[in-house]
Amino acid sequence: MPRSSAFVVLLLLAMVLGAGPVMAQQPAAKTEKPAKRQKLTRKERRELKHRAAVEQARQQVHDLTEKERELSESYFVEGVKYALLEDYTKSLERLLAAYRINPNNAAINYKIAETNLLTGNLKDATNFATAALKLDAKNPYYYLLLAQIYASQKQFDQAAQVYTTLIKDVPDSGYYLFNLADLYLAQNKLPEALATLEQAEKQFGPLDEVSFKKQQIYLRQNNLDKALQEGEALITANPNEVRYVLAQAEMYAANNRLPDAIRVAGQALTQDPDNPQAHMILADVYRQQNNPAESQRHLKLAFTSPGLDIDQKVRILVDYIKQLPNPALEKPALELADITMRAHPKEAKAFAVAGDIQSITEHKKEARASYLKALKLDNSKFQIWQQVVLIDAELNQTDSLLVHSDRALELFPNQAVFWFYNGTAHLMNKSAPKGVKALEYGKKLAADNPELQAQFDIQLGDAYHELKDYAKSDAAYDAALVFDANNAQALNNYSYFLSLRGEKLDKAKEMSGKLVKQFPDNGTYLDTYAWVLYKMKDYAGARQYLEKALKASKDGTVTEHYGDVLFQLGDIAGAQTQWQQAKRLGGTSKLLDRKIKDRKLYE
């Protein structure tokens, strides 16, 4: 047995040895004819048997023999041992055996009550605790157990009465006034709690704990003046304790006493110039006074201080994120994010929240760098990897997208989104077979996400077109449009590739015409529609839409297409001019140089 356990057993054994039997004769119980009732359940029979044994033991009033006393003590020690081992069933068996021999022993009743409380049998716990207290009304632990049992049953009035009796009847029990005050506070009995604390104050003199609790009561009673008086008393009694000064400043700030809040927070800074909480209070007060410059100054000072917890900084930055994008807040948010990263270079969350702010404020490269630093410290965060590959895709940086999606898949092989970006990266890198393999695998993983599956289908439509597997390409686009008949990317790419192949041109015209109607100023969609018309030999219509497209954007492909249309309309000089302009813009077909050289159309 460990030394501590042995000590508890010996202590309780001493309680047994010190408490002799109560010799008062009890009257014999009356016998009454039992009422006719249904057959008892097994549980009810066990309960009746147990209560009968307890009652029988209580009626035992003879003096114990030495052998009986030793046997009772042995059962008691065994019961305590099993209680320490948390085997409460065996503990109660031994304790009740001790009780049957010596029912008038206060310590045995106490331990049975305590064990019943631990097992949730509050009825028996109450009865045995009450019996223990009757047997020894001067033991404070018996009062405390009974009060705890009443409180567990939400019988707070009874618990309060137990504490009151303890304080009144047991010498040197005044410090239990604090327990009584807490009990009143739990019931929101504020006047009673206040009176109890004042009683404690009379007995023990001024105490910080009493003043603080009284202050909280006054605040709950909306008695600000009294609460502030207690705060001033705390400051006066503890002139070197800056926490009481800060609490007073916060109280002033919370109750719109802003000049007083500034004054007291300044007092805190006089005592502790780098105190971050004082700067936080001032930042909030100046914000309420519509003084953003001074508010930001104190906020930066608070963030610079190593005393401000990283989690508190993150919470503040998250509040900024909720208000972004907002031009007035972008610079302050970025500054605080930068300070946080410098102050906490080994905290992944510092870089992650900075990355969020940088991303929202369109500082994409900086955001990606911050996210990568966060992942270097902790690579287990799926959301951060997702942000990294998303930025890679937005920046059109294929190599980075491929590297980062590969690394993400090493950690999260069952996340469909990373297979999507990995497949997309291979397509952008002109590796269509690898792209198809990644996209097909990822699509299977996205079986429970129809929206993501549609995105896979669009990319597969592009990939299979590159592989000249037109049947699978068309099937993929059709599947995407089943999910969303208005998906712009699917409608545009599908119709454009059909026009290049010169197949299903009526369907291509219908799809691209739908887009142009929805987005009449989009240069890409206008170009696609014009090229479908071109393939249908409607050169005049194609010219009309290409001229609209060129107003929307200067693009090499669109300009080359316009030259082709002009050639078909017989304007060779105009076509030559557009082809030369397309060459300067870039992003054109491989046939452009031949067109310019030969002044002839090649398709």
Contacts (Cβ under 8 Å, ≥6 apart) of 222:
none
Max CA separation in the chain (angstroms)? 130
Residue 42 has a pLDDT of 64
In a domain, 363, yes or no: yes
Contacts (Cβ under 8 Å, ≥6 apart) of 290:
none
Each residue's pLDDT tens digit, 449-489 = 999 999 999 999 999 999 999 999 999 999 999 999 999 99
Can you tell me the mean pLDDT for 545-568?
Answer: 91
Share of the chain above pLDDT 90, in %: 69
**Distance from the first to the final alpha carbon of the chain:** 94
In a domain, 354, yes or no: yes
In a domain, 357, yes or no: yes
> What's the rounded Cα separation, in Å, for the pair 480 and 459?
10
Q: 467 near 443, Cβ under 8 Å? A: no
> What's the rounded Cα separation, in Å, for the pair 144 and 152?
12
> What's the rounded Cα separation, in Å, for the pair 300 and 178?
41
Q: For residues 377 and 247, which has the higher predicted lDDT (pLDDT)?
A: 377
* pLDDT for 359 beyond 90: yes
**The two structure tokens encoding residue 55:** 């009652």
Which residue in 316, 231, 229, 233 sits closest to 279, CA to CA?
A: 316
In a domain, 56, yes or no: no
pLDDT band, residue 58 (cuts 50/70/90): low
* pLDDT for 22 beyond 70: no
Residue 13 has a pLDDT of 36
Residue 45 has a pLDDT of 62
Each residue's pLDDT tens digit, 220-271 = 777 788 888 878 887 877 888 898 899 889 888 988 899 999 999 999 999 9
Residue 374 has a pLDDT of 98
Question: What total of structural domains would you count in the chain?
Answer: 1
Each residue's pLDDT tens digit, 120-175 = 999 999 999 999 999 999 999 999 999 999 999 989 889 989 988 998 898 888 88
* pLDDT for 4 beyond 60: no
Residue 50 has a pLDDT of 59
In a domain, 228, yes or no: no
Among the residue ranges 206-220, 253-267, 359-373, 400-414, the one predicted with the least confidence is 206-220
DSSP string, 206-251: --HHHHHHHHHHHHHTT-HHHHHHHHHHHHHH-TT-HHHHHHHHHH
Each residue's pLDDT tens digit, 279-301 = 999 999 999 999 999 999 999 99
Nearest-10 Cα torsion for 520, 524, 525, 531: 120
Each residue's pLDDT tens digit, 177-222 = 888 888 888 888 888 888 888 787 777 766 667 777 877 787 777 7
* pLDDT for 24 beyond 90: no
Residue 16 has a pLDDT of 36
Helix crossing, 382-394 with 398-411: angle to 10°? 160
Among the residue ranges 34-48, 129-143, 263-277, 488-502, the one predicted with the least confidence is 34-48
Domain of 367 in residue numbering reads as 310-378
Residue 21 has a pLDDT of 29
Residue 59 has a pLDDT of 52
* CATH number, domain with residue 374: 1.25.40.10
Q: For residues 214 and 423, which has the higher predicted lDDT (pLDDT)?
A: 423
* pLDDT for 56 beyond 60: no
In a domain, 355, yes or no: yes
Phi-psi region of 311 (alpha: psi -120 to 50; beta: other; left: phi over 0): alpha
Residue 212 has a pLDDT of 75
Can you tell me the mean pLDDT for 15-23?
Answer: 33
Residue 303 has a pLDDT of 95
Q: For all residues of the chain together, what is the average pLDDT?
A: 87
> What's the rounded Cα separation, in Å, for the pair 112 and 57?
14
In a domain, 448, yes or no: no
In a domain, 362, yes or no: yes
